[in-house]
Amino acid sequence: MILVAGPYRSGTNDDPKKITANVQAMTDTALKIYRMGHLPVMGEWFALPLIEAAGSKQIGDARFNEIFHPVAVQLISHCDAVLRIGGPSAGADEMVATGKAKGKKIFMSLDEVPKVSR
């Protein structure tokens, strides 16, 4: 299982269209990882429904911050690796640092991810 870590809010000024583009870039990468024989995951897949259920009113409010990065940090414990994609992102860099601290494989490009057979 490989966690895809990339920018979510970084560089967007919280513009929903730019955030959607960031999520799409991570999702597109997740599909490529899947087709390479791995199980991809994104923290957003877990966090965003919980954030909505918690009643968050806007990105960055207390309920959003309570859940968004902590979910991804917990998820890393269940992953074999972290793939860092995209541009500058403190959150994605945190996922890489957490992965390293937990002894996970860190890939800095999709080209580094080995193909496997299922």
Q: Is 47 helix (H, G, I), strand (E, B) or coil?
A: helix
Band of pLDDT at residue 117, cut at 50, 70 and 90: confident
Q: Do the domain assignments include residue 86?
A: yes
Q: Do the domain assignments include residue 117?
A: no
Give the tens place of pLDDT for each residue, 17-53: 999 999 999 999 999 999 999 999 999 999 999 999 9
Q: Do the domain assignments include residue 32?
A: yes
Helical packing angle, 90-101 and 62-76, nearest 10°: 30
Q: Do the domain assignments include residue 91?
A: yes
d(CA 17, CA 62): 22
Number of domains in the chain: 1
Give the tens place of pLDDT for each residue, 52-85: 999 999 999 999 999 999 999 999 999 999 999 9
Q: Show the domain range for 58.
A: 2-112
Look at the pTM and tell me if it is higher than 0.85. yes
The confidence score (pLDDT) of residue 85 equals: 98
Q: Do the domain assignments include residue 87?
A: yes
Helical packing angle, 43-53 and 62-76, nearest 10°: 150
Mean pLDDT of the chain: 97
The confidence score (pLDDT) of residue 100 equals: 98
Cβ burial, residue 23 (10 Å; 0-12/13-18/19+):
middle
Q: Do the domain assignments include residue 31?
A: yes
